[in-house]
Structure 1
Amino acid sequence: MTDVNKTNTPWVTECLEDGFFSHCYLATGAFGSKPQVSNLARNLSTGRIFDLASLTKALVTAPLVYFYCTKGCLSIDQRFSYYLPHLLPQPFDRMTIHDLLAHRSGLPPWRNFWINRLDTSSPRFMQRKERLDLVSDVLKRVDLKPEAGEAYSDIGFIALGILLEKIMAKDLNEAFMEFCEQELAYSSDEWGFAPDIVSQDFISTGTCALRKRALVGEVHDENCAALGSIAGHAGLFSSGNALLGYLESLSRHPKMSRFLSLNAQAAMDGHPMFGLRVGDDPSSSPFGNGHAIGHLGFTGTAFWLDWNRQIYGLVLSNRVVSGRVNPRIKTFRKEAFSFLQSIHHDS
């Protein structure tokens, strides 16, 4: 791999020196070619596996839903209640699998799954049946009124993760690893949900006030942690190189290439997406001129694919190590994706 010219990234050095994050990974390239990569950290001897946060939606849950639709196990236009009739309340009875993927189900963005369940003694893992019971219990007792218009929803992807576990009769992590290895012929030791054994390769995302410890190899998202570290909305860990390998494998697979093409076409036409998002906000639009497809992650991660040009941009960081909320992330992403886009203009 070729190093991105680090003299062109003073804003990364500044973020490292200021403690905004301790690790950062930048990559861009064209599918089928060697990427240009830069891996920056305060201490390059440790840490290369990031908590990808909501990238899990676009990299795990959406591809698996689409794949199992192509196999006839699911139908994208079928109501969710056909498969899990009692998980969600009556106001959402008519929503389809596609509605959930496109964040147009009317489900609210977030509800608390961790209250009275996440503390210093909470187990890191749980059985699939326990996860179903917890999700069902929370969704029965909280107020779920339909949102007006399109509403980005963690709850929708938590529900899709539960649906996948029911359809496949196995943990989402196990099903996803089988999909990678058997269908994509892809595997990596630096890829997957929270591990049983945590090594120094995992990058910290700071200290959790609920768990009262530094999070290293433990998912940052509290709802995912309460669900046993495996969920449809968050939980995936990866190094930058492993993520590039996965994206390359997706692009070569006929069915998954079609999945990416459908998202790209929907983005161009302004139609409902199939699990990915459109990179049209100011921090993302520099890459792909507002038509790229991909996702953002709360921990400081993002990827965008300019599918028509067959190029990608990837930015990973652990920016939550300096605090949960900081508007600097928007400026940083804009600088990062502008820089990655400029490499293609210069080539």
Structure 2
Amino acid sequence: MSRLKATLVRGLEGGHRPLYSAAVALIQRDGHPTDLVTVGHLSRYADADGALVAAESRQPALASTIFDLASMTKLFTTAVLLTLVDEGRTSLDEPIAGWLPTFGDGERRRITLRHLLTHTSGLPALLQLWTDWPDQASRVRAVLRTPLVNRPGESFEYSCVGFLVAGLLAERITGRRLPDLVQERVCRPLGLTDTGFLPGPARAARAAATEHQPHLGRGMLRGSVHDENSWSLGGTAGNAGLFGTAADVARFGQMLRQGGAVDGVRVLRPDTVAEMTRDHLPPAVDPGFRHGLGVRIGDPHWMGTRAAAGAFGHTGFTGTALLVDPGRDLVAVLLTNRVHPRREWSDIAEIRRAVAELAVGT
């Protein structure tokens, strides 16, 4: 058994409880796979109390298994917006109020796309759209009118609200829906045939289950977005909602590693990727890592200490991670369903670190 497989099996066996029911890890060096491991089953539990699905009904995790990517969606939202910057349709430093008039008063007038993508906009981390507003239209209005909790540009606050705004901004600039923009500007050019919002029945049947959410009348989720805010907005939001496979996520990471192009297909300009992956935080702001446009940089909490110095990427609440280390020609993907059957059951930070360290060592 390889060390990578042993690591994933350790998480599958857990201790008191398994950390996930399914996991797929893919490591690529210079664009070529060096290790691919799949463990577990797409669904193990029937409810949040841990009632087991019958063994004969469990489907094994495969390389083609589709996972809820959760906040890794933010990388694709960022890429869409940066294509618009490349086309001159917007810029990183013009106030977003020119497109979203609700940002035209007080300190909000200062907020730019750069602020949104670096989590320095001053917007709060979260809203509970699904409980505090009755319908999708009122939830969109709430997002666009959210009061600031900090002055723009002065502090780091990881903000899903900021990326909800970013997704709405992309739609306002183009007059197109975010799912169409992600397909047209990122997935289709790169050939990411298994990545997208709102999986249809065929893709949902290949999806790993996530959480049991009876409090929302949803039951056990499989192929339906886990994030409640994205769900309350129809499942197509800038912060979460994408589903995809390890191979698709790795190809997206390869595009970034190679300066915006793969196999002759260019998505972003090289200087745009360089801007995306450099540190944008003020020197005095130190959340324990650095941050680019949409990407986290050098975070030892999940990248491990050896990879962190030169790596960037993102994680997702459902148990996902993409690590890109250009200095090592490395792309590593870990996809799990660690929220199955409920989010309180597991923390996979140690597994993420172990996979990153193993990837660096291959």
Normalised by the size of structure 2, how large is the TM-score?
Answer: 0.80
Q: In the alignment, which residue of structure 2 is the partner of 1:308?
A: 327
CA distance in 1, matches of 2:70, 2:343: 13
Q: Which amino acid aligns with 1:294?
A: G
1:278/1:117 CA distance change after superposition, 3 Å: same
1:269/1:286 CA distance change after superposition, 3 Å: farther
CA distance in 2, matches of 1:328, 1:266: 27
Deviation at 1:310, TM superposition (A): 2.4
Spell out, residue by residue over 1:37-65, the C-alpha distance to the aligned partner (whole angstroms, 9 max, x if none): 1122234267710000000111x111111
| Identical columns (%) | 26
Spell out, residue by residue over 1:190-217, the C-alpha distance to the aligned partner (whole angstroms, 9 max, x if none): 2111224353201100211323411000
Q: In the alignment, which residue of structure 2 is the partner of 1:71?
A: 87
Q: In the alignment, which residue of structure 2 is the partner of 1:14?
A: 10
Q: In the alignment, which residue of structure 1 is the partner of 2:268?
A: 255
Q: Which amino acid aligns with 1:242?
A: D
Contact 1:205 1:216 in 2 (8 A): yes
Q: Please tell me whether residue 80 in structure 1 is matched to residue 86 in structure 2.
A: no
Q: Which amino acid aligns with 1:48?
A: T
Aligned pair count reads: 324
Could you tell me which runs of 5 or more consecutive residues in structure 1 were left unpaired when the two chains were aligned. 123-129
CA distance in 2, matches of 1:25, 1:63: 24
Q: Please tell me whether residue 57 in structure 1 is matched to residue 70 in structure 2.
A: no
Contact 2:73 2:240 in 1 (8 A): yes
Out of 172, 197, 200, the residue aligned to residue 193 of structure 1 is 197
1:266/1:8 CA distance change after superposition, 3 Å: closer
Deviation at 1:89, TM superposition (A): 6.0
1:144/1:242 CA distance change after superposition, 3 Å: same
Q: In the alignment, which residue of structure 1 is the partner of 2:292?
A: 273
Deviation at 1:163, TM superposition (A): 0.5
Normalised by the size of structure 1, how large is the TM-score?
Answer: 0.84
Q: In the alignment, which residue of structure 1 is the partner of 2:226?
A: 220
Contact 2:338 2:347 in 1 (8 A): no
Spell out, residue by residue over 1:83-111, the C-alpha distance to the aligned partner (whole angstroms, 9 max, x if none): 11115763322111101111111111111
Out of 92, 115, 129, the residue aligned to residue 108 of structure 2 is 92
After the TM superposition, which of the residue ranges 296-305 and 208-217 deviates more from structure 2? 208-217
Q: Which amino acid aligns with 1:136?
A: R
Q: Which amino acid aligns with 1:200?
A: A
Which structure 2 residues correspond to residues 223-238 of structure 1 after superposition, within 5 A?
223-238=229-244
1:115/1:24 CA distance change after superposition, 3 Å: same
SS at match of 2:204: coil
Q: In the alignment, which residue of structure 2 is the partner of 1:282?
A: 301
Contact 2:122 2:148 in 1 (8 A): no
Q: In the alignment, which residue of structure 2 is the partner of 1:127?
A: none
CA distance in 1, matches of 2:140, 2:233: 8
After the TM superposition, which of the residue ranges 245-254 and 171-180 deviates more from structure 2? 245-254
CA distance in 2, matches of 1:86, 1:45: 45
Spell out, residue by residue over 1:24-81, the C-alpha distance to the aligned partner (whole angstroms, 9 max, x if none): 11111223333421122234267710000000111x1111111100101111110111
CA distance in 2, matches of 1:289, 1:99: 23
SS at match of 2:344: coil
After the TM superposition, which of the residue ranges 306-315 and 253-262 deviates more from structure 2? 253-262
Out of 202, 205, 210, the residue aligned to residue 207 of structure 2 is 202
CA distance in 2, matches of 1:242, 1:282: 24
Please report the RMSD computed on the Cα atoms of aligned residues, expressed in angstroms: 2.7
1:53/1:30 CA distance change after superposition, 3 Å: same
CA distance in 2, matches of 1:84, 1:280: 33
Contact 2:72 2:315 in 1 (8 A): yes
CA distance in 1, matches of 2:164, 2:273: 22
Q: Please tell me whether residue 168 in structure 1 is matched to residue 185 in structure 2.
A: no
Q: Which amino acid aligns with 2:28?
A: G
1:8/1:224 CA distance change after superposition, 3 Å: closer
Deviation at 1:82, TM superposition (A): 1.6
Spell out, residue by residue over 1:213-269, the C-alpha distance to the aligned partner (whole angstroms, 9 max, x if none): 110000000000001000001011001112223333453237354433323333799
Deviation at 1:117, TM superposition (A): 6.1
1:95/1:342 CA distance change after superposition, 3 Å: same
Q: Please tell me whether residue 135 in structure 1 is matched to residue 140 in structure 2.
A: yes
After the TM superposition, which of the residue ranges 197-206 and 220-229 deviates more from structure 2? 197-206
Could you tell me which runs of 5 or more consecutive residues in structure 2 were left unpaired when the two chains were aligned. 42-58, 284-289
Q: Which amino acid aligns with 2:163?
A: F
SS at match of 1:265: coil
Deviation at 1:312, TM superposition (A): 1.4
Deviation at 1:8, TM superposition (A): 4.7
